[in-house]
Structure 1
């Protein structure tokens, strides 16, 4: 159960730590930055992975990804890469979803 209180260094059973996820994901983010200098890129993943990526980009302690960023299922977050580093433009936007979907449990 240590992964619930300190997920940065303690994985769930047969899972990865937040540090491992961030390490793997940062390689992809770096590749995207290198390859696509202009325009938009859509990254789709599980919400924990998205929160971990955002924490890494924004300098938030990886072990606090559950405590600092609330992102719901099917939400959209936007990061803009600026001269001074990543800028969070939106977090967890779900205005694209139909109202019926927004009312469902677990979303």
Structure 2
């Protein structure tokens, strides 16, 4: 079947979920919430383990979930002071609009 310009290939759209599918999704979400704390503990443990090859990904995950992926991190380091991390928006909103 060839593509016809201006006509949808799926005119009825995505099929609606049944009540059973909606209940299964809610049960799955609740199950995930039960393991959130232990999963976060594991991610923090990986982030703190200097020899773990997934350390960077664990740190990135924590930062992304804490501050969002639309932020940039500026790391400032001096010899006398500890490392300072400043979090700023990547995209600045035009205040004139």
TM range (shorter): 0.3 to 0.5
TM-score (norm 2): 0.36
Bigger Rg, structure 1 or 2: 2
TM-score (norm 1): 0.34
- Greater relative contact order, per chain length (Cα 8 Å cut-off, separation 6+): 1
